[in-house]
Amino acid sequence: MSIKKISTRPFKDQRPGTSGLRKKVTTFQQPHYLENFIQSIFDVVGKIRGKTIVLGGDGRFHNKEALQIIVKMAAANGIGRIMLGLKGILSTPAASHIIRKHNLLGGIILSASHNPGGLEGDFGIKYNVENGGPSPEHLTESFYRRSLEIDTYYLFDAPDLDLEQPGENRMGDMVVEIFDSTADYTELMQRLFDFDRMRKLFGHGKFSMVYDAMNAVTGPYAKAIFEGHLGASRGTVINGNPLPDFDGIHPDPNLKHARELVEIMNSESAPDFGAASDGDGDRNMILGRRFFLTPSDSLAVLAANADLVPGYSKGLSGVARSMPTSMAVDRVAEAMGIQCYETPTGWKFFGNLLDAGRVTLCGEESFGTGSDHIREKDGLWAVLFWLNILAAKGESVEKIVQEHWRKFGRNFYSRHDYEGLESDSANALMGHLREILVGLAGSSFGHYEVDAADDFSYRDPVDGSVSTGQGIRIIFRGSSRIVFRLSGTGTEGATLRVYLERYEMDTERQNQDTQEALSDLIAIADNIAQIHTRTGRDVPSVIT
């Protein structure tokens, strides 16, 4: 067996987005495409000889083939050891934990997260750094620049590994440890949450739950924790086997795509608690019996009740949210006397704040919530946090949330996604908004008066780095907002996301339908951005 030096040519489309490089499976199946990007990572990271990385993915189509290639490239490039998830399965939160627990150089995660799978679906690669978090912008930009000039990659000439059996294997001088990451992850959760209390919640027979793994990566973890350690009844976890095409399920835990779970939770015999996670396990959706909870409200409720959870009972150092996420958690932070940071979209922006000890909890409106236990958002962690609160308070999800609204006020909030737009039209719409920004302040739209309007920029309070062009904000007097931004997680066309928020302190008006409560802002958003005129769309593709 020997090292092959293989000549190649650059591809011009390998610039990572907010969560790594995502393209269609067929794009990654092109000769040299995956290899070019992996070699670019190895070249940029540098000083990798003899170091250890973790490797795995969410089980989607092309994962196993890609893993075999990456292992051989790692051996050829001098990596000393790879910790590889059993059967190629490794959730993003578990990967972050493994990097931190074992002080690894970093990790390569194969996933397109909440994007659809299968032969006609999406595939993705991202590199997580030594703190367990996603690569910062300067590093992903370096990957891209290297990919534009690469002319050679290296591959170890060896047979494929058996990914189905745990244990150690050798490939030249490199050791490949195939391991089951569910044990490490479960041990971490046991340190943070009161498993005894949650076990009693299930044990008395009056509490019921359903968790939808969406045939993605969290199935093995959820079965081990909920049906194993906590004693939930068998069948609590549905769609629990990771499948290459997710059995046709779009693994995005929202009201549109988690249809089976939503139907169960809206039925007359609905369980007390429902939850779902996405393709790679870093997102979550929380449902009560016939009650949907926005991710923004979920973050706020977790922060307000953190004292009930062992791992957070000593207090929070601060909280952080992405700019488009509703300001519900801001009000909790103010009441608690702690700092609330507003960052651009993308979990990597929380990393410095977490490393510096400035925040304990953080979250994004795109169904992502997390804390300083790792450097990624964590779907199962959020579900366990909610279970711990339910066990401690002995109340329903709906009652807990309504009590929270009575105390802090309600931020009516919704995101309208316009998917698959022509890129030119989407970019022209954003250009139009930037052109009219200066004149918006002081303008009135019905009874809404614009207090400020800008293109959000962020200066990192830890390292001083600046990120610009992060989304258009139109802020009205009285704490209402409209935010426009283009998504960085799609693989074709463009996705326009419109975020709408209205604050309501009057308890008599807090139980309105969300879309009805936001109807004026929805009309104003279309008027200002000329959505219908510029895109031809009458309604959003997805409303959450």
CB-based contacts of 201: which residues, under 8 Å, 6+ apart? 207, 387, 390, 391
Instruction: Give the per-residue pLDDT at 251.
Output: 93
Q: What pLDDT shows up at residue 17?
A: 85
Q: What pLDDT is attached to residue 492?
A: 67
Q: Is the pLDDT of residue 490 over 70?
A: no
Q: What is the mean pLDDT of residues 216-243?
A: 97
Q: How sure is the predictor about 200, in pLDDT bands with cuts at 50, 70 and 90?
A: very high
Tally of residues, the chain: 544
Chain centroid to CA 432: 29
The yes-or-no verdict on residue 347 having pLDDT over 70 is: yes
Closest by CA position to 50, among listed 178, 172, 184:
172
**Tokens, residue 59:** 């089980």
* Residue closest to 94 by CA, chosen among 20, 189, 226, 16: 189
Q: What's the whole-model pTM score?
A: 0.94
21, β-bridge pairs = 125
Mean pLDDT for 501-508 is: 94
Distance CA 111, CA 92 (A): 9
- Whether the CB-CB separation of 256 and 542 falls below 8 Å is answered with yes
Could you give the count of Cα atoms lying within 13 Å of 350 in the half-sphere of its Cβ?
Answer: 31
pLDDT band per the 50, 70, 90 thresholds, residue 272: very high
Question: Measuring CA to CA, how many Å separate 267 from each of 236, 239, 249, 264, 270?
Answer: 16, 19, 21, 5, 5
Domains of the chain: 3-180 (3.40.120.10), 184-408 (3.40.120.10), 410-458+480-543 (3.30.310.50)
Q: Which pLDDT value is given to residue 205?
A: 81
Residue 215 burial class via C-beta count within 10 angstroms: exposed 0-12, middle 13-18, buried 19 and up: buried
Active site residues: 113
**What whole-number distance in Å separates Cα of residue 64 and Cα of residue 60?**
8
pLDDT at 93 over 80: yes
Each residue's pLDDT tens digit, 413-463: 999 999 999 999 999 999 999 999 988 999 999 899 999 999 999 999 999
Maximum CA extent, the chain? 74
**What tens digit of pLDDT does each residue of 48-84 get?**
999 999 999 999 999 999 999 999 999 999 999 999 9
Percent of the chain clearing pLDDT 90 (strictly above): 93
d(C-alpha 450, C-alpha 462), whole Å: 31
Quick: pLDDT tens for 111-170.
998 899 999 999 999 999 999 999 988 999 999 999 999 999 999 999 999 999 999 999
Residue 325 has pLDDT above 70, yes or no: yes
Are 73 and 38 a contacting pair, CB within 8 Å? yes
pLDDT average, residue stretch 317-339: 97
pLDDT at 491 over 60: no
| Whole-number pLDDT of residue 19 | 80
